[in-house]
Amino acid sequence: MADFPHTLAAMPTTRRPGCPFDPPEELIEARARSPISRFPFPDGHQGWLVTGYDLTRAILADPRFSSRRELMKHHPTIDFGDIEVPPAPPGEFLLMDEPQHSRYRKPLVGKFTVRRMRLLTERVEQITAEHLDAMEQAGPAADLVTAFAKPIPAVVICELLGVPYEDRAFFQENVDKFLGGEASDEEVMAAYLATQRYLAELVAAKRANPTDDVLSDLLDSDLTDEELQGMALILLSAGFDTTANMLALGTFALLQNPDQLAALRDDPALTDQAVEELLRYLSVAKQFFRVALEDVELAGQTIEAGTMVILSLNTANRDPERFPDPHALDLRRRDGGHLAFSHGVHQCLGQQLARVEMRVAFPALFDRFPTLRLAVPAEEVPLRPEAADIYGVKSLPVTWDAATVPPGV
């Protein structure tokens, strides 16, 4: 192939007009040329962009590729210059390799199993119903992001971590600022520091007075308070914005695909499959990075030690060699194996929780508001910029016919 390896000159900044759910065209084209492309980072580093499904999955499972933060010296859209990137703080295991990573992940695994998360279903149903009640009373119009998509995962994570009820508003406000993608850099930093301080106080409070929650459960281990604080921060940052964006963008996608929404309404048994397909189709956690620890031969290329690799999960999840007709939202799809929760040692720890939240929240929303629809033309729904870590909508104005809300609900 004359132009192999293909080079992607820069990260695309927008999606094709009218296609808010598809990865940017440049990434789809890059994958069509080859599963791996050269990618020159803005600071001059010659890295790689991986877009093919098989290759992405292989790299995610390969211990020769690192997640360590201090090795991530380059950014796909920002020139860091000579700034030294420090290692991840204690407990922030998403950006660590073995054996440090396991020190923190292992004690948490048992707390996020399918069985433990299923036990939470009833509580998630209650939380969802409360938010739907409030939305209905304030309606018949709402911003689905603030009324539904953000508060439901926020309340769930607060309860899991044991954030006292009276602190919820402060906590949610700060978390939303530092993860919500809407605040200025200064606001993000202030909210991040406030959340860190809050979590330090929370861990100290649990030490003094343990309660029934994930943090208190870990107090008997040899983990220090600083480590517990870092773990809490990771649970929070990985679990809140992702699920919130899936709920909002997923609702938008279903409203834009009325035949699929009708199929889901007609057959509630389709819910689990529908959630998996929405995860694949939307892949809101769209890209992650790895660094080669040694020279690695893959797909006919040598990925040199120290080189950064961008793994485009959303493009890999649209690979036609893995998913026939990949750009169609098909809730009856049975292909399985999407990479929306990643793969390998860092595969999402909270995936069973996210599944419970989505399996409860989507059907409950469409049951409560059978005539739910966009309140603005689809092209006016404000999208998050491509630069945001997690993709989604900034707001989702919706409306419904008040009379069609089932009586007594």
Residues contributing to the site for ligand HEM (CB under 6 A): 67, 93-94, 105, 157, 234-235, 238-239, 242-243, 246, 284-285, 288, 340-342, 346, 348-350, 353-354
d(CA 362, CA 144): 12
Nearest to 21 by CA among 279, 387, 287, 361: 279
Contacts of 382 (CB under 8 A, 6+ apart): 393, 394, 395
Nearer of residues 6 and 57 to ligand HEM, judged by Cβ: 57
| Cα angle, residue 321 at apex, residues 317 and 324 outer, rounded to 5° | 75
| Distance, CA of 37 to CA of 111 (rounded, Å) | 39
Nearer to ligand HEM, 105 or 368 (CB): 105
Half-sphere exposure of 342 (CA within 13 A, CB side): 23
- Rounded to an integer, what distance in angstroms lies between the CA atom of residue 12 and that of residue 184? 22
Which of 110, 90, 357 has its CA nearest to residue 214?
A: 110
Q: How far is the CB of 319 from ligand HEM (least distance, A)?
A: 16
Question: In whole angstroms, how close is the CB of 110 to ligand HEM at the nearest point?
Answer: 14
Is the CB of 391 or the CB of 400 nearer to ligand HEM?
391
Which residue's C-beta sits nearest to ligand HEM? 350
Give the nearest distance from C-beta 129 to ligand HEM in angstroms. 20
Provide the minimum distance between the beta carbon of 9 and ligand HEM in the complex, in angstroms, as a whole number: 25
Chain-centre distance of CA 317, in angstroms?
Answer: 14
Q: For residue 68, which phi and psi values (nearest 5 degrees)? A: -65, 130
Nearer to ligand HEM, 52 or 140 (CB): 52
Report in angstroms how near the CB of residue 359 gets to ligand HEM at its nearest: 11
CB 61 to ligand HEM: min, Å: 10
| Closer Cβ to ligand HEM, 155 or 354, answer by number | 354
Secondary structure of residue 310 in the 3-state scheme: strand
Measured from the CB of residue 30, what is the shortest distance to ligand HEM in angstroms? 20
How many Cα atoms are found within 13 Å in the side-chain-facing hemisphere of 192? 14
CA–CA distance, 387 with 384 (Å, rounded to integer): 8
**Residue 248: CB atoms within 10 Å:** 25
Nearer to ligand HEM, 19 or 109 (CB): 109
Nearer to ligand HEM, 142 or 149 (CB): 149
- Measured from the CB of residue 284, what is the shortest distance to ligand HEM in angstroms? 5
The Cα–Cα gap between 362 and 76 comes to 34
Residue number with CB closer to ligand HEM (279 or 298): 279
